Amino acid sequence: MEAAFLLASVNALINAASAVVIVRARRAIAGRDTPTHRRLMLLATFLQAIFLVLYLAKSALFGTTPFVGDGTLRLVYLVILGLHTLAATVGAPLVLITLILGLRHRYPKHRAFGRWAYPVWLFVSVTGPLTYLMLYGLGRPGYGLQALGLL
């Protein structure tokens, strides 16, 4: 298995796991279970730190992987990728601020930032694996549906 594909696959799994963890964390705080919320949010942050290190390593070692699917599908992929990238760029500092506020027990501000950070982070954690599936499942010869002879 190609190293770049392996790293991309691990990153997609980390993003998907992050989505599950932050949804569970949101449910925990909605149920007023602050200790579980805190543990889950720290886990999600740790997962995203691992993701970032692996993503930067993949980018430095292998560069980007071009989407080579048909025009319409490529356009859809690029729109989703662009929105994902924009949300990740805006979301990273928003999540860090929210995390710091929570750890410092500044709960009113933490909640105010969290109302914005949660949906942005969830969007990033869902669209990351989606772009991976589109890139390797539909837009790269020898992978995904093409490897199975379905495209």
Fold of 3-147: Four Helix Bundle (Hemerythrin (Met), subunit A) (1.20.120)
The amino acid that residue 138 corresponds to is L
Mean pLDDT of the chain: 91
Instruction: Find, among 97, 93, 92, the residue nearest to 112 by Cα.
Output: 97
The confidence score (pLDDT) of residue 67 equals: 87
Q: Which residue has the tokens 């993701």?
A: 51
Cβ proximity of 109 and 73 under 8 Å: no
Query: Which pLDDT band, with edges at 50, 70 and 90, does 56 fall under?
Result: very high
pLDDT band of 2, cuts 50, 70, 90:
confident
Give the model's pLDDT for residue 139: 66
Please give the Cα distance from 59 to 42 (Å, whole number): 25
Question: What residue segments make up the domains of the chain, in order of their start?
Answer: 3-147
Q: Is the confidence at residue 70, as pLDDT, over 90?
A: no
Q: What is the pLDDT of residue 92?
A: 95
Other CB atoms closer than 10 Å to residue 115's CB: what's the count?
10
Query: What does the pLDDT read at residue 151?
Result: 52
